[in-house]
Structure 1
């Protein structure tokens, strides 16, 4: 099976994107392996890579499951990451979405579980 999973977010400008994602993650990038790529370790074997790719910028989508959706959204908003209203999805799952400056969609999920 896989050792790591890497989600890739395509952006136009790495410096402005890195600043925005720093606010999202509430910490600096964990790795900067090349000038056009920064990475955050989101979980023990899961990484989010933010990379320059002007042709794909704005077409990325990232879903993240959080323990306490209200607290996560409030904390992100306090750092200038303006998640939308929390909405009910299905089977107790709730969602809140933000769009980064390039138009990529990040959805925080509350009530996520591996089996429904």
Structure 2
């Protein structure tokens, strides 16, 4: 069974938020279904979209698990966005958390780093 995942994030103003998300995801949206939404493809059949909704903005929690967490974090930093938190869980799984300008939490997770420093 193929499943397409669409994770939604409410933002106050689509224009301003689109610029931040373009930097965060490293490019322009894959498509804009209407004037109050923008959609980024973050993997095969996996999308994160923003939707202008003032009353719901700032309450999202989205985490994406990636193979090379360090490369993703470096790429985001190169675009001028820095994490607000870095965590390593007891099992070695790592998570790096960002907050968009509305206060939504977006995180990237990655597997443990071995003794040689490899993820």
Same fold (TM over 0.5): yes
Q: Which runs of 5+ in 2 are unaligned?
A: 113-119
Q: 1:45-99 CA deviation, whole Å, 9 max, x = no partner? A: 1111100011110001110112222221121011011113532113120111010
Contact residue 83 and residue 98 of structure 2 kept, 8 A: yes
Whole-Å Cα distance in 1 between the matches of residues 85 and 60 of structure 2?
A: 21
- The corresponding residue for 2:21 is 21
Q: Which runs of 5+ in 1 are unaligned?
A: none
Q: How many residue pairs get matched?
A: 112
- The corresponding residue for 1:44 is 44
Whole-Å Cα distance in 2 between the matches of residues 64 and 4 of structure 1?
A: 14
**Runs of 4+ more than 3 Å apart:** none
Whole-Å Cα distance in 2 between the matches of residues 68 and 85 of structure 1?
A: 18
TM-score for the superposition, normalised by structure 2: 0.87
Whole-Å Cα distance in 2 between the matches of residues 57 and 89 of structure 1?
A: 28
TM-score for the superposition, normalised by structure 1: 0.89
Whole-Å Cα distance in 2 between the matches of residues 102 and 8 of structure 1?
A: 14
- The corresponding residue for 2:32 is 32
Aligned alpha-carbon RMSD (Å): 1.5
